[in-house]
Amino acid sequence: MKKIGVLTGGADCPGMNSVLRAVVRKAVSEGYVVTGIKNGWTGLAQNDMRVLDLQIVSGILDRGGTILGTSRIIPPLKDSMNQQIADNFKRSGMDALIAVGGEDTLKIALELYEKFDLPIIGVPKSADNSLTGTDYAFGFDTAVNIATQCIDRLHTTAESHHRIIVIEVMGRYTGWIALEAGIAGGADIILVPEYPVNIDLVCDSLRARHKRGKTFSIIVIAEGAVIEGHSNQQEHEENIRNHRVSRVGEMVADLIESKTGFETRVSVLGHIQRGGAPTSFDRIISTRFGFYAIELIKQDKYGFMVAIHKNKLNAFPIKDAVSKHKAIEPDIYEIAKVFAA
């Protein structure tokens, strides 16, 4: 019999509850008990926990957010908090801990694993899909689908008014949401952090479209996108690191309107991309991730993040998962470029 702790940390997103349900269902089938830690790492520091049983996780597969609550903590943690977490974990009698989270949550998990030898397994949550080592993190597919629906809606109004609409999506350091939602929504221009652009070239593309009779355009821009000569790189990176809104969409819209004279509007999709029910894809990978996390605990295999590659689950070192962001590669970006202008 094992006692397993589970927490959800960082930005919430649809699929967290699906993971919790899967963890509990699979753990119970193995004869294990599960303790849910409230509000991410904060809950472990404050000893705020509750038992999770089959009844508590019943009916939450399709529920957005997290029944455990979450908190945002930017790593590294203060030594005193690290120590507090390690002490509380050891006192709790737990044999293993599942940390469901993205880059920040997993960086803390890594520190606790390396410095205090805590037996931790990570589950990749990232609406931004920025974690290295896994083809997908849960939350991303839902964000892309929500953003695509919004682009579809903005398309019809842009066309009717002969306007340019700049749609700013989330993504922090990476442009995956912008790229995939942009392609799915038929965006005319997609701007991502991985490939800084010159605003004059963007304006040339828009003018060329107008000349062809397309008097409206849809630009999808990732919040972390960089505009050559206009982004204050240092301030921009600082904002992104601290999860502060960058307002890059507004800046681009102002530049376009003043340079081209085309009427331009901005729509910042924001947290709507992380709300509501997970897509079926996210429900499925969340369920598989939760199930597999317990499999790894059965094997006493720690310091790994559950990952999916070519539709097969595997254990990927947390250390490598958080070492760099999974950036958009040139071959995928080429697809987006073909549709510009």
What's the angle, vertex CA 193, arms to CA 172 and CA 8, rounded to 5? 20
Stretch that binds ligand F6P, among 34-42, 169-177, 207-215, 314-322 (CB under 6 A): 169-177
Among 5, 40, 171, 303, binds ligand F6P (CB under 6 A): 171
Q: Identify whether the C-beta of residue 124 lies closer than 8 Å to the C-beta of residue 268.
A: no
Give min distance, CB of 326 to ligand F6P, in A: 13
Among 50, 243, 247, 301, binds ligand F6P (CB under 6 A): 243
109 binds ligand F6P (CB under 6 A): no
Q: Output DSSP code: residue 197.
A: B
Among 12, 104, 128, 282, which one carries the catalytic annotation?
Answer: 128
Stretch that binds ligand F6P, among 23-31, 167-175, 205-213, 324-332 (CB under 6 A): 167-175
Write out 119-184 in H/E/C secondary structure: CEEEEEECCCCCECCCCCCECHHHHHHHHHHHHHHHHHHHHHHCCEEEEEECCCCCCHHHHHHHHH
172 binds ligand F6P (CB under 6 A): yes
Residues 117-156 within binding reach of ligand F6P (CB under 6 A) = 127-128
Q: Identify whether the C-beta of residue 27 lies closer than 8 Å to the C-beta of residue 120.
A: no
Cβ proximity to ligand F6P: between 244 and 337 the closer is: 244
Is residue 3 classed exposed, middle or buried when 0-12, 13-18 and 19+ CB atoms within 10 A define those classes?
A: middle
Q: Residue 190 and residue 67: Cα distance in Å, rounded?
A: 35
Give min distance, CB of 102 to ligand F6P, in A: 6
* Chain centroid offset of residue 233 CA: 22
72 binds ligand F6P (CB under 6 A): yes
Cβ proximity to ligand F6P: between 155 and 274 the closer is: 274
Tally Cβ neighbours within 10 Å of residue 134. Answer: 23
Active site residue 128: yes
Tally Cβ neighbours within 10 Å of residue 221. Answer: 31
Cβ proximity to ligand F6P: between 283 and 325 the closer is: 325
- In terms of phi and psi (left: phi > 0; alpha: psi -120 to 50; beta: otherwise), the region of 30 is alpha
Query: Encoding tokens for residue 270?
Result: 């924001």
DSSP β-ladder status, 312-317 and 264-268: unpaired
Cβ proximity to ligand F6P: between 74 and 201 the closer is: 74
Give min distance, CB of 144 to ligand F6P, in A: 12
Q: Output DSSP code: residue 303.
A: S
Binding map of ligand F6P across residues 1-40, x = CB under 6 A, - = no contact: ----------x-----------------------------
Size of the site for ligand F6P (CB under 6 A): 11
Residues 78-107 within binding reach of ligand F6P (CB under 6 A) = 102
What's the angle, vertex CA 89, arms to CA 44 and CA 16, rounded to 5? 50
283 binds ligand F6P (CB under 6 A): no
Stretch that binds ligand F6P, among 164-172, 253-261, 282-290, 296-304 (CB under 6 A): 164-172
Cβ proximity to ligand F6P: between 232 and 311 the closer is: 232
Give min distance, CB of 171 to ligand F6P, in A: 5
Q: Identify whether the C-beta of residue 269 lies closer than 8 Å to the C-beta of residue 179.
A: no
Residues 200-239 within binding reach of ligand F6P (CB under 6 A) = 223
Give min distance, CB of 76 to ligand F6P, in A: 18
Beta pairing partners, 8 = 100
Would you name the residues annotated as active-site residues? 128
User: Footprint of ligand F6P on this chain (CB under 6 A)?
Assistant: 11, 72, 102, 127-128, 170-172, 223, 243, 274
